[in-house]
Structure 1
Amino acid sequence: MMSDTKEFKATLIRYLKARVPFISVRSAERSRVLDIFRDVASGLNNAPIYVHTLSQGTKELLTNRSVNEDRSVVGAVDFASQQIAQRQNLSFILTEVADIEDDTPFARQVQDAVMLAAENGGVLIVVTTKPVWGQLQRLGMSLTLSSPTEDEMLEIIHEQVGAYRSQFCIEWDATDERQAAAILAGISRIEAENIIATLLANGGIKKADLLELMHAKDRIFADISGIERVQVRGTELNVGGLGGLKSWLDRERPLLTADLRERGIRPPRGVLLVGVPGCGKSLSAKAIALNWNLPLYRLDLSTIHGQYLGQSEGRLKEALSTADHVAPCVLWIDEIEKGLAGATQGSNDGGTSTRLVGQFLYWLQEARSRVFVVATANDVSKLPPELLRRGRFDELFFVDLPTPEERKEIINIYAMRGLKRELPNALMHELVEVSEGFAGSDIESAVREVVKEAYLHGDEAVNDDLFRRSFQNVVPLSKTSPEQIENIRAWGRDRAVPASGQPIGGICAQSRPRRTVLA
């Protein structure tokens, strides 16, 4: 696949000079493709290029002179065949073809025209976003022009912003422009130009407009299928504890939009959060998106599976491609083990789960888009071993039951949110002791009962005994299934870094083995 415009143009020139009879160009930016053809047309001696559109029929590319007023695509192919049969070295571009993916009458008509072109030095070019019928494609070559790269997007920003620096207040410096280019990578040239023009319409461009770029780009892809946009409300989002995870994220954040190519490293790829259910793994994904000022998207692997052969793989490819386009973003994959479980348990899905694992891991390791993946898992026994190998995720964190200090912080978060006040030190100390073995969700449930009473009967109904009863009524998973908790912790001690920064399950840090690196 080609994405760099210069490389695309150089390859296109070679194909045209070699008179390859059929060239399919995969791109959603017709005007950008035609601009490139105009650039190369002047260098092709005695090789006229014509272009067909439904609105204007067939015209000469450089002079815009009309040569055939029949606006239908079928008529354009007939006209091209007639001209190619009579004259040498003609090239025709079809910009709005349909029914060319399979063996259809129109695809057969194009095939006949291509075979005629092969005999007379002609070239038939189609610009499309879809695959081309195999027998037709084998008669020629294929090119893909992806969205502008970061360097090309930087040039677009220079062009758009530079022309107005003497007229408007432009606060962006070279670093800001580079960050803007990283944000806008993945969209078309015209979309980027429209976004910049919208900012300039405000009378200037401020530093804070970098955040607006993310929102504008998010609106472009709001209706694209494959992944779900998650709205994050900051007023209701605060994660207690997890100091080790938070420190690691603070260090990684600047790298997500930095230009790291000279260093030969990729942007941060993401984290895998495993551990005890109800301890804040999913909440952490939302908090990362909020703190990093990035849009949050959710990929539900359970909806990826289809009933037909290859359907699941196609859906996953579309979803990951969408994530690449909306980057920079946070991609949240909740309970990833459920979507990939068949790969470890010999399921009867015909190998679909295994192929999905391979496809996902290839994207995770090889893609260079600025997508930060936050995957969570509760049932660690179902995780494919390949998922845990170094080079997939940047780090594997274990989220344990909260420590006493973390429980104090969590209780205070929910008390402040629901009751708008801090609890007395004596009561807080008592609740921290009572909540030994509680998950974060257990603490939230206990405090929620108190907040309900405050709403129904007034704040004066809230007292220390109400808090005690609410906490004593909660039976945490650590009491109902202690073996399950210990099994999860035993797995985490060998493979993961504690998200709290404290030893997993209270085990002495010196006795905990180093994280295992799987081959």
Structure 2
Amino acid sequence: MSRTKQLTDYLKARYAILVIESFEEERALNEIAEIARTLGHRLYVWNSTLGVQTNGAVAGDKTFDLKMALDFCEEKAKEESSKNIFVFCDAHSYLGSSSNPVYRRRLRDLAINIRSRGYRSNCVIVAPSFEIANDLQKEVTLVDFPLPSRDEVKVQINSFVNSWKGNSSVRIDLPNDTHEKLIDAALGLTGLEIDNSLSRSLVSSLSINESTVKDLLSEKKQIIRKTGILEYIDSKVNLDDVGGLATLKKWLHLRSQCFGQAAQEFGVGTPKGLLLTGVPGCGKSLTAKCVSSSWNMPLLRLDMGKIFQGVVGSSESNIRSALRTAEAISPCILWIDEIEKGLSGSSTGTSDGGTASRVFGTLLTWMQEKTTPVFVFATANNINSLPPEFLRKGRFDEIFFVDFPSTQERKKILEIHLKKLKRDPEKFDLERLSALGGEANFGKDIVLSGAEIEAWVGESLIEAFSRRMSGSTDTSDLSMADFETTISRLVPMSKMRKDEFTKLRDWANQNAISASAMVAGQLDTETPIGGRQIDF
């Protein structure tokens, strides 16, 4: 059922008090006005500065106070053959549980009289948020008023573009694929925010093209900054900056096209998300940032610590607010890093009065039932801390396990970091360096993680710089000798936590897919990579 049809049915059925929660007051009023014209109802609109108005003119004297406005509306409702819709725009500040109860009592009286005396009238409250006090719970009906749909966004963008097509100073370059990207980028914005973004883009470049998509994404960034719970991550890296993880990369590539209109028309469901678990420092967080750039979608980081901060009772509200914001920004990627730390108390609920359990339940229900294109990218180091129901099918599309890098993956990681330092990888013996970072140097089951390889490269660069600055006759650039010197100072994490990672790998062999693929050149003597080997 469409939004307009639902609202029309409520009004025709003479529901006494309807509440529309929306920041788009102007858009809501326009839709109500159109329905009023269709039904032949007179429309009265009240706000605290203008009082009651109809057709843009003041309808009643001294109606700035809500109680006086309700008195006026009841007098109009009493008129024979009178059919009315009374809209109240600032009433939410008068009707909360801590406000003067006289206003709630007067509104209830009007609602009772609409039902008992047969007034052909309705009251509609339009507010950005509305606290339903106990004495109004049975009187009020909440009406969904979502942000503009894809079709509505398309009409608005087309209308804006067409209004400038005849202007010779404006360049419009919107092939079909860019036009679809523009519509996708505008989803989750209000009509006003879309107009503002398009206008700003037009003013800055006198054009509407691919760069306009970035302007719309920038507008979404503003929305996220206002929440204080979600963080917008500007990602400058892509999947080529991740060494290895070939299976995971292929899986992500297959789903990169599943968010567009063509996928929906073909019947492809929107991807739900994935859980990336494994040893720390092996690229889980980096991969989340890379997916955002590769898919050209906003990346929102949900800080579970901020969910639980604030006054008692605010945690549940915080998680609902964060999820609503993510849905408003969609299509997007919701990154929940080290999720086990935020949900560690959800199994017992003994230490926090059950707050973590309620937050966890809200998150689980949303993940299962969400229909908006929000791709959940969750990472976890300690999978045993997560409740079992979080891991079942339906929450995530897949669970991947990231293990320590293989010989070939270490070579690729070294190559990436050397290029970042503007050094030519061809001048280094990558086979030798890979071996130094693996079992050939440290012993069985002991290898460097991706983060440790990055630190090793950084330490080696400092070693080379220190040598040059010390007055030594050797002023050569970063060399193999520097790597061989600094490797002896490293104590790999795989050595310190060997038993822990062995158990984690055993779990992955039964329950997760390996993010890495076995490739030619893999040494038989290497420790097998954790997780099931599957080729997508």
**Aligned partners of 1:16 and 1:123 also within 8 Å:** yes
TM-superposition CA deviations, 1:73-98 (whole Å, max 9, x none): 34322322343355554332111121
Q: What letter matches 1:438 in structure 2?
A: L
Cross-structure match for 2:58: 66
Q: What letter matches 2:149 in structure 1?
A: T
Aligned length: 505
Cross-structure match for 2:472: none
Match of 2:68 among 56, 75, 78: 75
Cross-structure match for 1:37: 32
Cross-structure match for 2:442: none
Distance 2:294 2:384 in 1: 31
TM-superposition CA deviations, 1:314-343 (whole Å, max 9, x none): 211111111112222222111111112223
Q: What letter matches 1:471 in structure 2?
A: I
Cross-structure match for 2:289: 286
> Relative to 1, partners in 2 of residues 1:343 and 1:412: Cα closer, same or farther, differing over 3 Å?
same
Identify the range of structure 1 (289-298 vs 163-172) with the bigger mean alpha-carbon deviation: 163-172
Cross-structure match for 2:502: 486
Distance 2:348 2:67 in 1: 53
Q: What is the correspondence of 1:91-170 to structure 2 with a 5 Å cutoff?
A: 91-97=85-91, 98-102=93-97, 104=99, 105=101, 106-118=103-115, 119-121=117-119, 122-128=121-127, 129-167=129-167, 168-170=170-172
Cross-structure match for 1:11: 6
* Structure 2 segments unaligned to the other structure (5+ residues): 439-446, 469-474
**Aligned partners of 2:182 and 2:212 also within 8 Å:** no
Q: What letter matches 1:17 in structure 2?
A: K
> Relative to 1, partners in 2 of residues 1:512 and 1:378: Cα closer, same or farther, differing over 3 Å?
closer
Q: What letter matches 1:84 in structure 2?
A: A
Identify the range of structure 1 (321-330 vs 439-448) with the bigger mean alpha-carbon deviation: 321-330
> Relative to 1, partners in 2 of residues 1:43 and 1:233: Cα closer, same or farther, differing over 3 Å?
closer
Match of 1:441 among 434, 444, 451: 451
Does structure 1 residue 57 correspond to structure 2 residue 51? yes
- Kindly, what percent of the aligned residue pairs are identical? 30
Cross-structure match for 1:460: 476
* Structure 1 segments unaligned to the other structure (5+ residues): none
Task: Give secondary structure in 2 for the equivalent of 1:228.
Answer: strand
Cross-structure match for 2:444: none
Cross-structure match for 2:301: 298
> Relative to 1, partners in 2 of residues 1:232 and 1:502: Cα closer, same or farther, differing over 3 Å?
same
**Aligned partners of 2:302 and 2:336 also within 8 Å:** yes
> Relative to 1, partners in 2 of residues 1:456 and 1:289: Cα closer, same or farther, differing over 3 Å?
farther
Distance 2:508 2:365 in 1: 25
Q: What is the correspondence of 1:47-446 to structure 2 with a 5 Å cutoff?
A: 47-60=41-54, 63-70=55-62, 71-85=64-78, 88-97=82-91, 98-102=93-97, 104=99, 105=101, 106-118=103-115, 119-121=117-119, 122-128=121-127, 129-167=129-167, 168-201=170-203, 202-234=205-237, 238-305=241-308, 310-344=313-347, 347-418=350-421, 420-422=423-425, 424-426=427-429, 428-436=430-438, 437-446=447-456
Distance 1:51 1:449 in 2: 69
**Aligned partners of 1:454 and 1:462 also within 8 Å:** yes
Distance 2:374 2:18 in 1: 32
Task: Give secondary structure in 1 for the equivalent of 2:95.
Answer: coil
Task: Give secondary structure in 2 for the equivalent of 1:294.
Answer: coil
**Aligned partners of 1:296 and 1:332 also within 8 Å:** yes
Normalization by structure 2: what TM-score? 0.86
> Relative to 1, partners in 2 of residues 1:235 and 1:125: Cα closer, same or farther, differing over 3 Å?
closer
**Aligned partners of 1:89 and 1:120 also within 8 Å:** no
Normalization by structure 1: what TM-score? 0.88
Distance 1:374 1:51 in 2: 45
TM-superposition CA deviations, 1:161-192 (whole Å, max 9, x none): 23333445432244433332222111111211
Q: What letter matches 2:150 in structure 1?
A: E
**Aligned partners of 1:414 and 1:444 also within 8 Å:** yes
Identify the range of structure 1 (256-265 vs 175-184) with the bigger mean alpha-carbon deviation: 256-265
> Relative to 1, partners in 2 of residues 1:513 and 1:234: Cα closer, same or farther, differing over 3 Å?
closer
* Root-mean-square deviation (Å): 2.9
